[in-house]
Every structure is written in structure tokens, then in C-alpha cells.
Chain A
Amino acid sequence: MNFEYSEKEEKFRTEVRDWLKETLPKYLSEKVKKYQRLTKEDYELFMNNLSKKGWIAWHWPEEYGGTGWNAIEKHIFEEEIVKASAPRIVPFGVNMLGPVLIEFGSEEQKNYYLPRILNNEDWWAQGYSEPGAGSDLASLKTTAIDKGDHYIVNGQKTWTTLGHHADKIFCLVKTDLNVKPQLGISFLLIDMDSPGVEVKPIITLDGEHEVNEVWFTDVKVPKKNLVGKENEGWTYAKYLLTFERTGIAGVPNSKSALNHLKMVSKKSTKNGKPLIEDPMFSSEVAELEIDLLAMEIFNLRTVSAAAEGKAPGMESSLLKIKGTLVRQKTTELLRKALGPQALPYLPEQFDEGWNEMPIGPEYAGPIAKQYFNMRKISIYGGSNEIQKNIVAKASFGL
């Protein structure tokens, strides 16, 4: 047993860190640190840098322009971009659709879309969830009716993250209404500027616009936009979800949130003394740190098995559950650490260039908002309850 990174891996870490130091503008990492709203251009700037460097597609085979990194290198890369406070990589094109096209797309689709994804020419959105199809995704209602050389699409998608920036959307649609739900689904690529597509914002409980509804009314979609075979979309959809769950433990994010929590609980006071000196509070922090320490090793065990080619099965589900609970606990303790300072809500504080006096310490502003925002992580990507069903079905033999 050996828990150390190899010399080669440490060298890779240094290379990534140096590159980030060189290319990530200070204003952007400051925005991320302060939880300010990122513009489309902010995301694109970072992703274009990655493209130029050839580091954008880490789940793709090298022949298609992928990085060829193993699971440990991906893990190191993820850690470093979080440490550097870089924006998240918008995953829909490069981490979700890309692998599906590589596995199931036609030559024409691969030749056209893959280079465009590598160069960030298209902003993709994910059209999976519907108002009536969340955990029970297969019960989706959006239809695509065969009209010879094209389909006519009608229906509604929801929770479309950053869909208001998107040029294109990949959708699960019903192409056969007379069979078992899973059997009649197809995987369709749709231009967002097609007539009949309408995007409506959903404002989430923290007051932010991140997700959307996307409505389709008699939208004409050419047949060449069908991925793989008609009515076999469910297979492709599930294949995509395995990529969505990669790195879902979010260890780097939780580590950085824990450091933030320690900073805040040193500055917050109780009876005039630093809150971190309160035995009850510091005990909660310590047990959270222990949970995270154990999860980091659990994650590395899974990552290193994946680097040897063993596909993570129920481990990804277990890590998703624990990862989201740990992450949510950090936001809970941050909120508690603030006491009454958690109350003020100044939405304009998160705009670029805001330079008024904050109420209370500057770090207090985003914390309660972030706590509410983070409730989503145990819901999306297959809710934690669904993950438990998956584990039970896959490994208990009940």
C-alpha cells in the first residue's frame, strides 16, 4: 500500500499549477472567490485557454483530441483548478455529449461536432429533465414525430443549466409512444435558434438565474441530428450519466470549503472569543474534517482502481451520496458560524464591479445564499435516493 503521489504525478501537478498561474486572469479568480456572477465570456475565456492548451477534453480518447490522462491525473487536474479558483468547466458539450458522440455518433456527426466542441464554438445544453420526469426520467413526454426527412418536436424541458447561453441542446424525446417507456426514447440534437424554441428563466431560491425552462413548439429537426438509432436513446442517456457522475464526490470543492469554514470560524466570535475555540462548534468542524479525510481516501481508492481500468460501479453512487452530504454540511456550518450576520441579502453584491460597503464582513455575503444553492446537489445527477436504489439493486441481490 502506498498513498503518495508518484514523482511523475507531482510533476504533472506543478505543470498544471504553473499554467493556471500564468493564464488565469486575477480578476476572474477574484470573482470566483467572491461568488460573483460569471458572464458567458468569463466561462469562455477559461475554456478557450484550456482548448488552446489541449486540456479541454479529458474524458476523450487521444485520437479525438482528448488528453489521454488517467483517473489520477484527472483528479489532480480537478484539484488544481479548484485551488486556483478557476470557473467550472461547462460540462454539457465536452464531458457529456462528446463521449456519447464518440461512442454512438455517425462519422458525419463526429467530424462536424467534435472539433466544434474542442474549440468551444458551440455552447451545449442538456435536455433531460421535464416537469413530469425527474427521478423517473423514462416517463418523459416531449415527442418527436417522424415526418420523412425531419422530426417535429413538441414538449418542455426543465432545469436546463445555463440554457440561456446555449446555441444547441441535446434532448431525450419520445419517438415511439406505444412501447414500454425506456424503449421509445431517442437522442436528438437541436439548434436553439430553430423556430419554436423558447427559453424561459427559472429564478432559484437564492435569487439567481442559472437554470431555465426550454419549450419546443412544432420545432423542425432534420433527421441527420438523430444520434445512433431511433428508439435506442435510453442506452445513450445512461452512458452519458456515467460521465456525469465522474468526480461527483467533489473532494476538492469540499476541501476548499472546509478551509473557508475554518477561516470564517476564526473571525466569527462567541462571547468575544473566536468561535473556533467553542468546544461544541469546533467538534462539529472536526468531525466534518474527519468525514472528509475518510472520503478523500475512499475517492482515491476508487480513482486509483479506475486508473487501472476497473470501472467504478456502485462506488460512484456511494461517493455521490457522501460527497453531497459533506459539501452540504460545510455550507450548513458556514451559515451557523455567521450567526445573525447571515441575514442580509444584497443581490447586487454579486455583480462585477460592485464597490459599496458590505453589511458585516465581506465574506458573509454569499454564505446563506450558497447554503440554499447547495441543496440542489443531493437532488441533481440522480437524487441521493435514486443512488441508493442503484446500489441496492446492483449489489445486494435482494
Chain B
Amino acid sequence: MDFSLSEERKMLQETVARFFENSYNDIKKRSEYLDMNDGFSREFWKESSNLGVISGLISPSFGGLGGSGEDISIIFELIGKSLCIEPFLSSGLLSSTILSSIKNPKTDLINEIIDGRLLVSFAHMEMNNRYEDHFVESKAFFENENWKLNGSKSFVINGDSADKVIISARIEGKINDKNGIGLFLVDNDKINNRSYNTIDGYRSAELNFDNVNAELLCKDELALECIIKANSAGALALSAEAVGIMQVCFDLTLDYLKTRKQFGKSIGSFQSIQHRMVDMMLEIEQVRSAVMLASSTFETNSSTRDKNISAAKNLVGRVGKLIAEESIQLHGGIAMTWEYSVAHYAKRLIMIDHLMGDADYHRDRFKLLS
């Protein structure tokens, strides 16, 4: 049994940490990036590529340098610490997971993603989909030797700036059938695109498409497998991101308790506040442990993988709420301001529970897999 990181992974961690700390050194920098055309900094994205951060999310079999559960967790925990809003999840992880899991992997596209030249978003959510892997309403049909798609996709992260989009659409069957789903690759300039910011600072889009030409990547059983795998990878990444965020929330709160004075003494001297900090610390260690377990079984069979990821994501949902709310409460008024960073961390932490399955969704999936 060994719970420490290998020398190689420690190096990855140090390199990425230093890079993020330099480029994302405070919340004002993040706001600047957020206000850019694409909702993130292309320059930073290119540098991430040069430093090998994107390839850290992708397996060597497809030209990457990492891609294991541990690699994903290390990188996303640091993303959480910096509250980084670059397309690591959409392009770096979700799309590359699908492009590498199909029968004839799209290694050329993956390489372009790694190089930072291509952005691909994964469009699976729909307005009435509540995180389900197989609830798909958009339609696909085959006509004149071509696949065509009709329908709409919602909450597509980086769906505005992506060059290509991977869309799940129903080839046959009822809305909730496990069979009959296909995954398609579409050029984004052919899609009607309504772009907006999410409350936690990400750029997202609503996609509408009407008889748009598409390339079939996979269908039926394999398509469902790919969706599940991408959603699980995403849930793991977000859980690791949450660990990073929770730690920052805790540290910021502790610092504040030492400096803020009321009734003539630092508010950290009050026992009721100290005990709440211990509860936070304890629950963060619980989440950290669950994420470690989920990372370590990421490459095993899918039921162990998904069960442990669901355990982690469920805990992240529950503990995330505790940490976000307590960080704001213990700070008091200052945490209600846009200017102070803890508010942005708290918002992201809460909204992570609205992505890739919330605590209830993952609790129910954990039950099914137990």
C-alpha cells in the first residue's frame, strides 16, 4: 500500500502548479480572461499545450503523456486551486476521451487538441436531460449517403469557441432507450450557436441544428459506453477540481479568522467557529480520500470505476455545499462581494454539483452499482 505520488507525478504536479500560479495569480487575472472573446485566454491555452498540461490528460497510446486517473486528478486539483477557466474539461478531457474510445480512434484530431490548435466540445446535455447517459431527444438520420442531425443541445461548455462539436443524437428508439444512440462529429460553423456565461464564470452555449451534415463516430452499445466513459472521466475531474477549491476556501477562511477582529479579539479565537473549521477540515479529508480511491480505480473495469467515481462525486456534492456555505458564513459580509475571491470559489464549488451528475444522481448510480 502506498499513498504517495511517484517522482514523475510529483514533477508533473510541481510544473503545472508553478505554471498556474504564475499565469492565474489572482482573481483579477481570471476576470480579464473571462472577458476575452472566447471566455478564456488563447495565449494561456497555447502555453498549456507547450508545457504538456493538455497532453497530461491523454494516454500515450494516443500521443499524450498521461491520461491515468492520477494524472487527471493532479491536473484538475490544480485547476481548482487557480479557478482556471480554460477548456481543459471540454476539449482536453471529454472530447479526447470519446475520440480515443471509438473503433477507429481519431488520433490526428487528438494530436491537434494536444497541440492547442483544435477545440472540440462534447454536446450531450439537453434542456430536459437531468444528467442521464441515454436520455437523448435530438435526432439523426441517414439520407443521400450522409448522416444529418436535427435538434438542440444545451449547456455545452465552450460550445461557442469550439471548432468541432461531438453531438449525441438518437438514430432510433424512444427518448430514454439505451440502444439507438449515435455520436457524431460536426463542424461548429454549421450550427446555430447562442453563447452565454454560466454563473461560475464558464462560457457555455445552446446549439440548434437543422439537417446539418455530420460524421458518425460510433453508435449503439459503443456510443453509450463512450458517453458513460466521458461522463465518468468528467465527474472524476470535477471531483478533483473540487478538492482544490475546497482547500483554497478553507485556507482563505482560516487566514481571515486570524485577521478579522470583533469584540476586541480575532474571531478565530471563538470556539464555535473553531469547531466548524474542524468539521470542514474533516470533510475535506473525506473527499480527498474518496477522490484518491476513484483515481486509483479509473483504469479498472467500468463498474468499479463508476462506483468509486459516483461515491466521490456524491460526497463532493454534499461536502461542496458545506464548504461553500461555511466559507461565506465565516467570512461574513466580505464574502458577499464580487471583488473578493472566496465568492468565486464558492460559486464554482456549488455549480460543480450541477455538472456531470449531482449528489442525488451519483448516489442513485452508486446504489445501482453496489
Q: Please list the residues of chain A having a beta carbon within 8 angstroms of any beta carbon in chain B.
A: 1-6, 9, 72, 282-283, 286-287, 289-291, 293-298, 300-301, 304-305, 315, 318, 321-322, 385, 387-389, 391-392, 395-398
Alpha-carbon distance A315/B285, docked complex (angstroms): 9
Q: Do A398 and B269 touch across chains, with their CB atoms under 8 A apart?
A: yes
Q: Do A294 and B315 touch across chains, with their CB atoms under 8 A apart?
A: yes
Give chain B residues whose Cβ lies under 8 Å from the Cβ of A305.
3
Which are the 5 A-B pairs with shortest beta-carbon distances?
A: A297-B289, A398-B268, A392-B274, A294-B290, A298-B289
Q: Do A294 and B367 touch across chains, with their CB atoms under 8 A apart?
A: no
Closest residue of A by beta carbon distance from B257: A398
**Is B127 on the interface with A (CB-CB < 8 A)?**
no
Q: Do B370 and A286 touch across chains, with their CB atoms under 8 A apart?
A: yes
Scoring B3, B70, B281 by chain A CB atoms within 10 A of each residue's CB, the highest score goes to B3
Q: Do A392 and B277 touch across chains, with their CB atoms under 8 A apart?
A: yes
Give chain A residues whose Cβ lies under 8 Å from the Cβ of B268.
396, 398
Alpha-carbon distance A294/B288, docked complex (angstroms): 8
Known: A1-B70, A391-B278, A398-B269. A300 touches B1 (CB 8 A): yes
Give chain A residues whose Cβ lies under 8 Å from the Cβ of B271.
389, 392
In chain B between 1 and 38, which residues have their CB closer than 8 angstroms to a CB of chain A? 1-6
Question: How would residues 323 to 337 of chain B score, 1 for a CB under 8 Å from any chain A CB and 0 otherwise?
Answer: 000000000000000
Give chain A residues whose Cβ lies under 8 Å from the Cβ of B254.
396, 398
Alpha-carbon distance A300/B4, docked complex (angstroms): 12
Residue pairs across A and B with Cβ atoms less than 8 A apart, 28 shown, are A1-B5, A1-B6, A2-B1, A3-B1, A3-B292, A6-B1, A282-B367, A283-B363, A283-B364, A283-B367, A286-B367, A289-B366, A293-B290, A293-B308, A294-B293, A296-B289, A298-B285, A300-B3, A301-B289, A321-B282, A388-B275, A391-B278, A391-B281, A396-B257, A397-B258, A398-B254, A398-B258, A398-B268
Alpha-carbon distance A291/B254, docked complex (angstroms): 25
Known: A295-B289, A318-B281. A4 touches B366 (CB 8 A): no
Alpha-carbon distance A75/B197, docked complex (angstroms): 50
Q: Do B314 and A290 touch across chains, with their CB atoms under 8 A apart?
A: yes
In chain B between 114 and 153, which residues have their CB closer than 8 angstroms to a CB of chain A? none
**Is B59 on the interface with A (CB-CB < 8 A)?**
no
Q: Do A322 and B286 touch across chains, with their CB atoms under 8 A apart?
A: yes
Closest residue of A by beta carbon distance from B269: A398
Q: Do A396 and B277 touch across chains, with their CB atoms under 8 A apart?
A: yes
**Is B247 on the interface with A (CB-CB < 8 A)?**
no
Q: Do A304 and B1 touch across chains, with their CB atoms under 8 A apart?
A: yes
Alpha-carbon distance A385/B274, docked complex (angstroms): 11
Alpha-carbon distance A280/B290, docked complex (angstroms): 23
B38 to chain A, nearest CB (A): 35
Question: How would residues 272 to 316 of chain B score, 1 for a CB under 8 Å from any chain A CB and 0 otherwise?
Answer: 001101110110011111101101110000000000100100110
Q: Do A287 and B370 touch across chains, with their CB atoms under 8 A apart?
A: no
Alpha-carbon distance A315/B282, docked complex (angstroms): 9
Alpha-carbon distance A287/B364, docked complex (angstroms): 10
B37 to chain A, nearest CB (A): 40
A203 to chain B, nearest CB (A): 32
Known: A3-B296, A295-B286. A389 touches B258 (CB 8 A): no
**Is B192 on the interface with A (CB-CB < 8 A)?**
no
Q: Do A4 and B1 touch across chains, with their CB atoms under 8 A apart?
A: yes
Alpha-carbon distance A9/B2, docked complex (angstroms): 13
Q: Do A398 and B274 touch across chains, with their CB atoms under 8 A apart?
A: yes
A75 to chain B, nearest CB (A): 10
User: Of A287, A289, A290, A318, which contacts B282 at CB under 8 A?
Assistant: A318
**Is B198 on the interface with A (CB-CB < 8 A)?**
no
Q: Do B366 and A297 touch across chains, with their CB atoms under 8 A apart?
A: no
Alpha-carbon distance A253/B322, docked complex (angstroms): 27
Give chain B residues whose Cβ lies under 8 Å from the Cβ of A304.
1-3
Give chain A residues whose Cβ lies under 8 Å from the Cβ of B258.
397-398
Give chain A residues whose Cβ lies under 8 Å from the Cβ of B370.
286, 289
User: Of B282, B293, B318, B367, which contacts A322 at CB under 8 A?
Assistant: B282
Give chain B residues whose Cβ lies under 8 Å from the Cβ of A2.
1-2, 296
Q: Do B1 and A293 touch across chains, with their CB atoms under 8 A apart?
A: no
Give chain A residues whose Cβ lies under 8 Å from the Cβ of B311.
290, 293-294
Alpha-carbon distance A3/B289, docked complex (angstroms): 11
Q: Do A290 and B290 touch across chains, with their CB atoms under 8 A apart?
A: yes
Q: Do A294 and B289 touch across chains, with their CB atoms under 8 A apart?
A: yes
Closest residue of B by beta carbon distance from A318: B282
Q: Do A287 and B2 touch across chains, with their CB atoms under 8 A apart?
A: no
Scoring B254, B289, B297, B370 by chain A CB atoms within 10 A of each residue's CB, the highest score goes to B289
Give chain B residues whose Cβ lies under 8 Å from the Cβ of A286.
314, 363-364, 366-367, 370
User: Of A4, A282, A297, A396, which contacts B274 at CB under 8 A?
Assistant: A396
A86 to chain B, nearest CB (A): 24
Give chain A residues whose Cβ lies under 8 Å from the Cβ of B5.
1
Alpha-carbon distance A290/B308, docked complex (angstroms): 9
B51 to chain A, nearest CB (A): 23
B71 to chain A, nearest CB (A): 11
A381 to chain B, nearest CB (A): 16
Q: Do A1 and B296 touch across chains, with their CB atoms under 8 A apart?
A: yes
Q: Do B367 and A392 touch across chains, with their CB atoms under 8 A apart?
A: no
**Is B266 on the interface with A (CB-CB < 8 A)?**
yes
Give chain B residues whose Cβ lies under 8 Å from the Cβ of A385.
275
Closest residue of A by beta carbon distance from B368: A286
Q: Do B266 and A287 touch across chains, with their CB atoms under 8 A apart?
A: no
B204 to chain A, nearest CB (A): 29
Alpha-carbon distance A301/B4, docked complex (angstroms): 9
Alpha-carbon distance A298/B360, docked complex (angstroms): 23
User: Of B3, B278, B366, which contacts A1 at CB under 8 A?
Assistant: B3
Give chain A residues whose Cβ lies under 8 Å from the Cβ of B278.
318, 321, 387-388, 391-392
Known: A287-B314, A295-B289, A398-B258. A1 touches B367 (CB 8 A): no
With A9-B1, A293-B290, A293-B311 known, 18 other A-B pairs at CB within 8 A are A1-B6, A283-B360, A286-B364, A287-B314, A290-B314, A293-B293, A294-B290, A297-B289, A301-B3, A301-B289, A318-B278, A321-B278, A388-B278, A391-B281, A398-B254, A398-B257, A398-B268, A398-B269
B366 to chain A, nearest CB (A): 5
Q: Do B293 and A3 touch across chains, with their CB atoms under 8 A apart?
A: yes
B75 to chain A, nearest CB (A): 15
Known: A2-B1, A298-B286, A318-B281. A290 touches B275 (CB 8 A): no
Q: Do B295 and A1 touch across chains, with their CB atoms under 8 A apart?
A: yes
Scoring A2, A6, A388 by chain B CB atoms within 10 A of each residue's CB, the highest score goes to A388
B155 to chain A, nearest CB (A): 26
Known: A294-B287, A298-B286. A1 touches B2 (CB 8 A): yes
Closest residue of B by beta carbon distance from A293: B311
Closest residue of B by beta carbon distance from A295: B286
Closest residue of B by beta carbon distance from A299: B289
Give chain A residues whose Cβ lies under 8 Å from the Cβ of B290.
290, 293-294, 297
Give chain A residues whose Cβ lies under 8 Å from the Cβ of B281.
318, 391, 395
A70 to chain B, nearest CB (A): 11
Give chain B residues whose Cβ lies under 8 Å from the Cβ of A295.
286, 289
